[in-house]
Amino acid sequence: MRLSIIPVKGDEKWELLSKIVDKFESRETRKALARNGITPVNKAIKMLKIIILAMFFELEISYAVSEVNKRYELRKFLRIEEEVKLRSVYNFMAKFEVDQFVNFVFSILNASSKKRRNKPYILILDWTDISLDLNPFRKRDLKDKPYKWGYSTKGFFLGMKMMILIDYSTITPLFFHVYPANIHESRIYPLILGILKRKKLIRFGDSVIG
């Protein structure tokens, strides 16, 4: 039996998601969407909220849509006035390439993030599963696919994994990296540190919380 997705006031995870929802409503986000050709903007923002909700709680898109349509308090939290059609979310996801989505996210982060100062920072490095709504019993050739078989505390899944770097003091996302689900965190960690050093997102003296 799956748990109901109900916003909890004062819960740290819901507080963080609330800040992400605020960013989606910002002027910078609307400009980034238009700049990357992701239109109509209002509909795109609604679809993105559903996708982020699913990723945030490691849910299938179909279950996230079901919960949003079922619960008024969840729609109010996400600032979504009407029910959402599952097909609309899938059609939205299929409209643009991965690189286009990545460029859009980074344009938002760059516009809303302040330049870091020359002082030690506390950073949070976390991983999450991105499970796709694919039939696990169907035989698939995954050789050239961006998704793979992965394993988490919930069991085996078809999808990808995402690493995200967050500024502890402001709870601002600074960087994310998506990679195949069949690579364990211990193997990707040295690669991630190298990327973050090259991008000067972590420096000598910083503390990284995993």
pLDDT given for residue 115 in this prediction = 59
The domain boundary, picked from 85, 111, 137, lies at 111
Q: Are residues 84 and 92 in contact, defined by beta-carbon separation less than 8 angstroms?
A: no
Q: Identify the CA nearest to 165 among candidates 207, 102, 123.
A: 123
Identify whether 6 is part of a domain: no
Tokens of 41: 């903007």
Phi, psi of 111 (to 5 degrees): -75, -30
Helix residue ranges, H only, the chain = 12-24, 27-35, 41-56, 61-70, 72-78, 86-93, 98-112, 185-198
Residue 137 belongs to domain spanning: 116-209
Contact 130, 162 (CB under 8 A): yes
Residue-averaged pLDDT of the chain: 79
Among 114, 126, 119, 124, residue whose Cα is nearest residue 204: 119
CA 76/CA 125 separation, integer angstroms = 30
Are residues 54 and 85 both part of a single domain?
yes
In this structure, is residue 102 part of a structural domain? yes
Residue 7: inside a domain, yes or no?
Answer: no
Task: Answer yes or no: do 99 and 127 share one domain.
Answer: no
Q: Does 100 share its domain with 124?
A: no
Rounded-to-integer distance, Cα 183 and Cα 188, Å: 7
> Per DSSP, what are the bridge partners of residue 148?
159
pLDDT of residue 196: 86
The per-residue pLDDT string of the chain (210 residues; one tens digit each, 9 = 90 and over) reads 577 888 888 888 888 888 888 888 888 788 877 877 777 888 888 988 998 888 788 788 889 999 999 999 999 999 998 889 988 888 887 776 666 666 666 666 555 555 566 778 888 888 777 666 666 556 666 676 656 667 666 667 677 777 888 888 877 777 777 777 777 777 888 888 888 888 888 888 888 888
- The domain tally of the chain equals 2
Residue 194 domain flag: yes
Residues 90 and 164 in one domain: no
Burial (CB count <10 Å: 0-12, 13-18, 19+), residue 152: middle
Report the candidate in 106, 94, 166 with the shortest Cα–Cα distance to residue 133.
94
Residue 69's pLDDT is 94
Residue 52 lies in a domain: yes
Residue 2 lies in a domain: no
142 in any annotated domain? yes
pLDDT computed for residue 71 by the predictor: 92
CB 84 within 8 A of CB 65: yes
Q: Which of 91, 111, 131 is the last residue of a domain?
A: 111
Cis peptide before 40 (omega within 30 of 0): yes
Pair 96, 168 in one domain: no
**8 A C-beta contact, residue 166 and residue 173:** yes
- Same-domain pairing of 124 and 93: no
Q: pLDDT tens for residues 43-97?
A: 888 988 998 888 788 788 889 999 999 999 999 999 998 889 988 888 887 776 6
Asked which of 70, 91, 111 is the last residue of a domain, the reply is 111
